Amino acid sequence: MIIIKQKPGVNVDTFSHMVFYITRNTGQSDSVSNLVIDFKDNRKSYVLAWVDSIVKEINQLPKIDFVARILSSKETSPSGKEPLDILGKAIAKATNSKYCPKCLTKKQIHRPLKTLTRDQRINELNNLYKFSLLNCLSAKNEYAKPISLLIIDDVYTTGTSMDLVCREIRKKYTKDEIIIHLFVIGRTTSAKHSLEVPIKYNQEFFSANQFPSILDESFMK
């Protein structure tokens, strides 16, 4: 149940998301969107449930050679222990690719983006990202060009982070060298758009996948 959009931008070949993330300001209560928050909050049982749900569908994506992840505002490099690290490693294993936490870094931490406008986000992140595949490639460079790179994140809101990362990649690597694919768990849907289709889709996703209940004592021990 992965939704895939082909050629969504100049620098990107595909953009995919698992579910819709319905913001609370819509006034709608959505269980799946709450589960996305559980993933972001690193609630272990929910992280594992998301990983299981995503991995079983991941073969819908194009061929992948490397997996990297977006960094939070408090990170300059991945710790290897965050929910996106767990997901990245699982996707890499399922696709016979390589998780590459060192290829994407930032020069410094920055303000949280949640309350910022798109222009403010761009100013906050401008020239912060650094990208290189050199730490992931072997001395023999066994990967044939173009290399297929999947960049993952938990929630896509304005797309500023991913867009600036892709621009940074394109400063060093052409499309003949790296093909970029983007994947997020939840794509944000706001009150400005009709929520009928996203809510129905999320309900179908929830019915088709197993997530722990907060009342399930086996997950509260």
Of the pLDDT bands very low, low, confident and very high (cuts 50, 70, 90), residue 106 is very high
Lowest mean pLDDT, pick from 56-70, 81-95, 134-148: 134-148
Where residue 198 falls among pLDDT bands split at 50, 70, 90? very high
Rounded CA separation 25/40 (Å): 19
Name the residue among 160, 74, 153 with its Cα closest to residue 119: 160
pLDDT of residue 56: 95
Burial 68-104 (b: 16+ CB within 10 A, else e): bbbbbeeeeebeeebbbbbbbbbbbebbebbbbbebb
Q: At what angle do helices 118-125 and 160-172 cross, to 10 degrees?
A: 40
Average pLDDT over residues 176-192: 91
pLDDT in tens, 24-77: 888 888 999 999 999 999 999 999 999 999 999 999 999 999 999 999 999 999
Closest C-alpha among 54, 62, 57 to residue 14: 62
> CA dist 73 to 112, 114, 160, 198, Å?
5, 10, 13, 28
134 — pLDDT class (breaks 50, 70, 90)? confident
The answer to whether the peptide bond before residue 146 is cis (omega within 30 degrees of 0) is: yes
> pLDDT band for position 138 (50/70/90)?
low
pLDDT at 220 over 60: no
Q: How many CB atoms lie within 10 A of CB 64?
A: 21
Cα-Cα-Cα-Cα dihedral sign, residues 30, 35, 36, 40: positive
